[in-house]
Structure 1
Amino acid sequence: MMDYSLGKGNLENWVVSETEFSADKLGKVESIMYLGNGYMGLRSATEEPYLNEVRNLFVNGTFNKFDEKEVTELPNMADVTRIDIRVDGERFSLELGETRGYVRQLNLKSAELTRTFEWVSPKGKELHFHIKRFVSLDNLHLIGIQMEVENGQHPVEISFNTGINAQMNNNGSQHFHEGDRRIFDKRFVQLVQTTTESKIDVAINTVHKFTKNGKEVKTEPVMQMDRRKVGLKYTISLQPNDNLTMEKLTNVYTSRDKEFDKPNYHLEQLREHSLQDLRKMSESGYNLLIEVHHDAWQQKVWNKYNLEINSEDSFDLLALRFALYHLTVMTPAHDERMGIGAKALSGEGYKGHSFWDTEVFILPFFTFTNPEVAKSLLKYRYYGLVGARKKAEENGYEGAMYPWEAAWPTDGEVTPVWGAVDIITGKQTKIWSGFIEQHITSDIVHAVYQYFTMTGDQKFMDECGYEMVFDTAKFWASRLEWNEEKQEYHINNVVGPDEYKEHVNNNAFTNYMAHFNLKLAISYYEILSKQTPSWFAELNKKLSLEESYQHWLYKAEKLYLPEPREEDIVIPQDDTYLQLKEIDLTNYKNQDKVGTLFNDYNLEQVNKIQVSKQADINILFFMMGHAFSQEVIRANFNYYESKTLHDSSLSLSTHAILANDLGEEQLAYSLFKKASEIDLGSSMLSSDEGIHAASIGGIWQATVFGFAGVRLIDGKLRINPRLPKHWNDMKLTIHWKGQPVSLFITQATLSVKAENQKKIEFEVFGKSYECKDHIVIPIEVARECKEGAL
């Protein structure tokens, strides 16, 4: 059972709590309370084992392919969190004996996981447990666990069987050779393994320390070593009211780390460096290490983003902080060779692969608030041009065609071919996304455009961005298909964002985004050829731009862009959507869990019904709304919202933003709340395979792009605030052209402050403003002027 009200005082709206343990419902809390730092992610399984647990430790970028017939995935590292405990010989488990006062909490502010409870053994021995855990944001390689056990009124003997367990897998796939195990000084435990295909070395070290009643216990452990497993067993006697504290510090290093991924690398360097690092950390101890970790979170996250809302519903602020927490722990800010998985680093779902989720739902957070991290994520896609060019060539196209699912940048397409069962035929369903869901190519280019416009980072464009834009435009020019009858170019046989419609022609989102990609390439070509001819000559030599430019001009002009139909100004999602059969969707719209449509239909049947999995036309309006009138956006929003089941976690936040744009404030907040509850809701089965990373980004987007109205529109900064009625005020900091800009929004006013006192220009409800220092704008007056003009 989840409870979000337990944070008190300075921790109010900072704490996510579970107040009732269930061995049958472990997955949600393991996922939403996972710990990480972008380098690694540790699923929050309990120390003691249970049948339905999932123990995951992932290190970003360590992709491996188990078998030639499978796709590459992030391998599940050895487990360092399991501790088998016995009390007077009895196995400790919350399924045995009696448990009182159980609370497991994630403190978002400090990024520390705690578990507190009293346990009475079947023999009547009473023990009070307080267990803490963190993954350091200061030292990216460090994991810390501290377990305090306070004894009751009877003498007990308690034992801890603990170490490193590499008997792990990814749903049956084993990614590591057995490796070497070693125990140094009967204290420091080390395991070294190598992935089977990618040949990445991993070194994991762990050390323990015990104190009883404040004094260190020098007990002799029993050393244990088994296949893929190494550890120690400690046995300690406790008298009534004794207090025992166990600390377990662990570090993880890999040969993919930048400091080791060099031509002169040797495994012995990794072994020795990692071991010496742990020896040094063990001298500091858990309490000092976590203080430094707490400070890193305060300085790098909470002070930096400065995002607060004053809402009459405290859940809103908690949800926003939850989003900021997860956006931090999922993102490999330390290494531009790595992306963000669809389940972040919280579970095995989607194998750690990156989708369009990053560019459309997650990266904008960093573009607007932490541009250096945004640049790192875009460089990951730049390095991925190798795989994108490979995919284009394999499919008979030119230029760069980005993979639908990406892993290591040079891997190319890694989308699995086969998926879930077809309820009609009983066969596996083919996954077409890797073949024909192609809009990701222009989604990435849109992210490049957004970053460059927001930051003015010319160096990035010269080194990476222009090449990405030009080579993707070459792909689209080769991808377009000429329709002789209509004398125009089409894009046939695709899947758009709405994955309930496969093998469609002229998906509106895909066509418009491809057109955007071509027009952007044309614009950049013309700017570069005139303003920096020497650099243009270099790119031209590498990419044959002069020839491509003529194709872009002609094909962009001739590319079919679906227009609103006359009777209701609804834009067809694709060539056939508006002619498909309509059914009563009421039950599916009101479903308690996603995907209930497939209890009654298979995908082939769904393909013939006017029903959408997620936002499609509406995400086009979100990304390119300046190209359409408010009247057209409203008509299409109303039409497609009624047919969208939001069976994808990506969908709700987009609809929330558009609803707010249209003045549908109650609906906007309702959709925002539903988006926030995808992971934080009361259902204990919502997040078993991992958190919904895109939805996490969507919470921030609905808050900032939606309610605060902060958007990049046609190259300009626009701020059209429309706070929910029960939000008293909101503050945030964004970055525009290299300058922090602080915003404070109330129901009545918008306050804008240029922190570096450099002039900033922006629009509020259609009126232009500029500010070098500080300006306060009455919101209602600005909104009424806009509505009056309309």
Structure 2
Amino acid sequence: MLFGIATKKDDDWWIGVTNPDTPHLSKYESLMFQGNGYLGIRGSLEEHYLNEKRDMFVLGTFDKFKNEATELPNLPDIVNIEIMVNGKLLSLNHGETTNYQRGLNLHNGEIVRSFDWLNGKDKLHFEFRRFVSMDNCHLFVSEVKVTPLSDNVRLQIKSGIDGQQTNGGTQHFVEGTKRLFNARFVQMQTQTQNSLVKFALTEYHRLFLNATELTLNPRLQIERRQIFANYSIDVEKDQCLTFVKYANVFASNDQDLKDNVSMDCLCQLKHVGRESYQKLLEASSHVWEEKIWQDSFVEIASHNNKPQIAVNYARYQLFANAPCDYSKNIGAKGMTGEGYKGHAFWDTEIFMLPFFMLNIPSYAHNLLIYRYLNLIGAQKKARQGGYQGAQYPWEAAMPEDAESAPLWGSADIITGEPMKILSGSTEIHVTADVAFGVYQYIKNTGDYSFAKRMGYEIILQCAQFWASRVTWNSEINHFEITDVIGPDEYKEHANNNAFTNYMVHWCMRKGAEIITDLRQNDLITYSRLNKKFDMKKLVKELIEKSSMLYLPAPNENGIIAQDDNYLSYKKINVNKYRTSDNISEIFKDFDLKQLDKLQVTKQADVLLLLLLFEDELPKNIIKQNWDYYEPKTIHDSSLSFSTHAILANDIGLYDRAFDYFEKNCQIDLGTNMGSSVKGVHMAGLAGTWKIVIEGFGGIRAVKDGLRIQPHIPSTWKHLKFSLIWRGNKVDVLVTQTYFSVISDGKIKFIYHDHIYHVEPQERVLIEI
């Protein structure tokens, strides 16, 4: 079974469950996340259960306490609805539940749950619906329909705002103002403890008996950090009671704030609350269809629809978590849970940015503006280390922060003491990764306006940092980079990690090229940047140090050493760790100090390097390094499978490529119910798309432009997709025997070293 969650044979846009399965609620909460790039809500059930984790976040509203890492604060809960039937509390753990179905519609982000519930002599049908609006970033709407099937009942409904939520026990919000406006609007005002971001959350309820709206004023219940509205109503057999909840959230750092959080929140809800659930859902669905899905098309005709569902799910989560403005980024788990505290990593530039660049470039543009704003913190971090330029944080939260990575992790299995987390100080390749992402965006989109305003400066700040970070080694007569963590995080004190050194070399060389080009072709931009850098001095330093930076070359067997010592370390059999359902299984046998001296790789390291610089290395070198490193890689990171799948497809290992594709799909959607409980894996989801489009679809941005060199799995009839290349929409169809390309503008692409020119609306067909 590929998925651990239910799918529908005839529906490519639905995931769900067909039984309550309350012991595994946390995984379903992550998978059924709803969001719009501003507001994110986990798919917790309306009624409470022991194993739940209710999380709601507003992107960019970080808070922190002394000696703790900055994190997105878990907002008061607005999802809750408590229902009593003749004095008995609705719970799927009591009574008998039949005809249960709960699913997330990936096409419009609506969750629908329905079931029959028998408790004693009372049998009722329940239907729950809810969505986070893509049309109104502040809005959440839910609807509950209750129909007694056996007898008349008295229903008591309690719904409100529950501020007794925490981040793993940490309460980020002070006790705030709670009140009722106009006898109908329930509101809570609060603010974060340290960052002092103010919030207002408001709810409005409407009740209908069959089609008739009821006029019921709520009985207010106020507790510490809680405010609830209570309703009681008698419902006859076969009548339908409909309860609609309208809720919205405003924060004091909102860019669209007009008055204050309380008044804006209340005024908007007074207006929105006049509309029906269905009309508001249609408005949200329209945005999904017109502004997202029409510009992000992927169709897979396969022996079953699971690959299609997987890529649809990946795209849904990426768009639901993508920031709706430029002051924020995507966390490693987005807003789907508390994992990684909402922090952004190198995952954004290396794994997620290509998805947005080739679908809706404006999203990629916003993500990179965040990195431009983050120069403040990055320059601060560089100065703290005694370096120049900008050193990007390994974990980024607020743009002005120098570093947000926690200092301590889990216990060492040998000493029993907490292990110090070194990534914030030594996993520094992120600074080259950010520059790489910026340049890829410029090359893919042709957005030279961004390049001149922000992009070139980001690259030059990064290049200047690296020029100050490299050190001279007189024994080898080269500059080198010592004491770092590369993508393989099991090697915590590596010297000359190949991935890092090659990325740094690229960054310094690219910085020198930019300065030279601006001096020759754009003196206005050159002069503006010269006020921030001594461009003449910097270009000289970049040329000198990049030309003398040590780059591990393939040895006599074609192997690029992962670092100075990796090839000399002891080899062990890693099969049991590769096949385990649980990540970090290896830590039951070894601690990090021991892993540091073994030929065991956490995730793609040298192989990722070979993928990013594939057009600079011969294919036989890629194959030789695959043969060496792939058996030693245990994939203890969601970032690993996609790289291996794409490389396997490139070198003709087609069955292995599809196997890695399926493994990547199972990171979140698989049968391991312990995965994803703290949030889904955003880079892994981006990896699903990357395997389909960059791997099977053969799409690459190489040195000479766009390359299309597809090869789809043998079980697929065809793959159709669209992409945006330098402002032109390109439609690609790949079958087992040919592929075709149509563009709405003039483009050219490369296929097996041959350049093809495509005129507007012309269909170019190539036999494979």
Q: TM-score with structure 1 length normalisation?
A: 0.95
Q: In structure 1, what is the equivalent of residue 318 of structure 2?
A: 327
CA distance in 2, matches of 1:213, 1:663: 62
Q: In structure 1, what is the equivalent of residue 448 of structure 2?
A: 458
Runs of 4+ in structure 1 deviating by more than 3 angstroms, as ranges, are 1-5
Q: In structure 2, what is the equivalent of residue 779 of structure 1?
A: 767
770-779 vs 418-427, which moves further: 770-779
CA distance in 2, matches of 1:515, 1:37: 38
Pair 1:692 & 2:689 matched: no
SS at structure 2 position matched to 1:329: helix
Pair 1:241 & 2:238 matched: yes
CA distance in 1, matches of 2:590, 2:635: 17
Matches within 5 A, 1:571-650: 571-650=560-639
Which deviations, in whole Å up to 9, do the C-alpha atoms of 1:366-391 show, x marking residues without a partner?
Answer: 11111111111001001000000000
Matches within 5 A, 1:383-402: 383-402=373-392
Which deviations, in whole Å up to 9, do the C-alpha atoms of 1:733-784 show, x marking residues without a partner?
Answer: 111221111111111222111213x2x111012211111132433332xxxx
CA distance in 2, matches of 1:94, 1:103: 12
Q: In structure 2, what is the equivalent of residue 292 of structure 1?
A: 283
Q: In structure 2, what is the equivalent of residue 764 of structure 1?
A: 751
CA distance in 1, matches of 2:713, 2:524: 52
Q: In structure 1, what is the equivalent of residue 32 of structure 2?
A: 33
Q: In structure 1, what is the equivalent of residue 151 of structure 2?
A: 154
CA distance in 2, matches of 1:285, 1:140: 17
CA contact (8 A) 2:758 2:764 kept: no
Q: In structure 1, what is the equivalent of residue 518 of structure 2?
A: 528
Query: How many residues of Structure 1 are paired with residues of Structure 2 in the alignment?
Result: 765
CA drift of 1:6 comes to: 2.6
CA distance in 2, matches of 1:544, 1:15: 56
Pair 1:712 & 2:710 matched: no
SS at structure 2 position matched to 1:79: coil
Q: In structure 1, what is the equivalent of residue 260 of structure 2?
A: 269
CA contact (8 A) 1:97 1:119 kept: yes
CA drift of 1:715 comes to: 4.1
CA contact (8 A) 1:112 1:134 kept: yes
Matches within 5 A, 1:427-446: 427-446=417-436
304-313 vs 337-346, which moves further: 304-313
SS at structure 1 position matched to 2:193: coil
Amino acid at match of 2:29: E
CA contact (8 A) 2:156 2:230 kept: yes
Among 200, 205, 208, the alignment partner of 2:205 is: 208
Q: In structure 1, what is the equivalent of residue 249 of structure 2?
A: 252
Q: In structure 2, what is the equivalent of residue 784 of structure 1?
A: none
CA distance in 1, matches of 2:503, 2:548: 14
Q: TM-score with structure 2 length normalisation?
A: 0.98
CA drift of 1:23 comes to: 2.3
Which deviations, in whole Å up to 9, do the C-alpha atoms of 1:7-47 show, x marking residues without a partner?
Answer: 64xxx211101112222211111001110011111001000
Among 292, 298, 320, the alignment partner of 1:307 is: 298
Q: In structure 2, what is the equivalent of residue 783 of structure 1?
A: none
SS at structure 2 position matched to 1:575: coil
CA distance in 2, matches of 1:152, 1:433: 58
Which deviations, in whole Å up to 9, do the C-alpha atoms of 1:596-643 show, x marking residues without a partner?
Answer: 111111111111111111000011111111121101000001111100
Pair 1:504 & 2:491 matched: no
Amino acid at match of 1:70: E
Amino acid at match of 2:408: W
Among 695, 706, 730, the alignment partner of 1:741 is: 730
Q: In structure 2, what is the equivalent of residue 785 of structure 1?
A: none
Pair 1:190 & 2:192 matched: no
CA distance in 2, matches of 1:43, 1:5: 20
CA distance in 1, matches of 2:54, 2:9: 27
CA drift of 1:408 comes to: 1.2
CA contact (8 A) 2:6 2:18 kept: no
303-312 vs 404-413, which moves further: 303-312
SS at structure 2 position matched to 1:608: coil
Matches within 5 A, 1:74-113: 74-113=72-111
SS at structure 1 position matched to 2:532: helix
SS at structure 2 position matched to 1:197: coil
Pair 1:59 & 2:50 matched: no
CA contact (8 A) 1:340 1:353 kept: yes
SS at structure 2 position matched to 1:296: helix
CA distance in 1, matches of 2:385, 2:331: 25
Pair 1:544 & 2:534 matched: yes
CA distance in 2, matches of 1:539, 1:15: 50
Which deviations, in whole Å up to 9, do the C-alpha atoms of 1:660-688 show, x marking residues without a partner?
Answer: 00011110011011101111112222110
Which deviations, in whole Å up to 9, do the C-alpha atoms of 1:478-533 show, x marking residues without a partner?
Answer: 00011011110110000000101111100000000000000100111110001112
CA contact (8 A) 1:615 1:644 kept: yes
Which deviations, in whole Å up to 9, do the C-alpha atoms of 1:77-132 show, x marking residues without a partner?
Answer: 110011122111112111111111111100111210011111111x2311111100
CA distance in 2, matches of 1:535, 1:301: 34
CA distance in 2, matches of 1:481, 1:715: 33
Q: In structure 2, what is the equivalent of residue 140 of structure 1?
A: 137
CA contact (8 A) 2:246 2:273 kept: yes
CA drift of 1:270 comes to: 2.3
CA contact (8 A) 1:31 1:687 kept: yes
CA distance in 2, matches of 1:364, 1:632: 25
CA contact (8 A) 1:205 1:252 kept: yes
CA distance in 1, matches of 2:392, 2:5: 42
CA contact (8 A) 1:2 1:17 kept: no
SS at structure 1 position matched to 2:111: strand
Amino acid at match of 1:698: G
Amino acid at match of 1:728: K
CA distance in 2, matches of 1:45, 1:337: 28
CA distance in 2, matches of 1:185, 1:464: 48
CA drift of 1:2 comes to: 4.4
Amino acid at match of 1:777: L
Q: In structure 2, what is the equivalent of residue 6 of structure 1?
A: 8
CA distance in 2, matches of 1:404, 1:779: 45
Amino acid at match of 1:271: S
Amino acid at match of 1:143: F
Unaligned runs of 5+ in 2: none
CA contact (8 A) 1:518 1:552 kept: yes
CA distance in 2, matches of 1:715, 1:189: 59
765-774 vs 242-251, which moves further: 765-774
Amino acid at match of 1:6: K
CA distance in 1, matches of 2:8, 2:719: 23
607-616 vs 746-755, which moves further: 746-755
CA drift of 1:583 comes to: 0.9
CA contact (8 A) 1:2 1:19 kept: no
Percent identity over the alignment? 41
Q: In structure 1, what is the equivalent of residue 48 of structure 2?
A: 49
CA contact (8 A) 1:399 1:474 kept: yes
CA distance in 1, matches of 2:560, 2:304: 37
CA drift of 1:535 comes to: 2.3
CA distance in 1, matches of 2:687, 2:269: 38
CA drift of 1:219 comes to: 2.6
CA distance in 1, matches of 2:525, 2:116: 69
Q: In structure 2, what is the equivalent of residue 483 of structure 1?
A: 473
Which deviations, in whole Å up to 9, do the C-alpha atoms of 1:562-588 show, x marking residues without a partner?
Answer: 01111x211100011111111111211
Unaligned runs of 5+ in 1: 781-790
Amino acid at match of 2:209: K
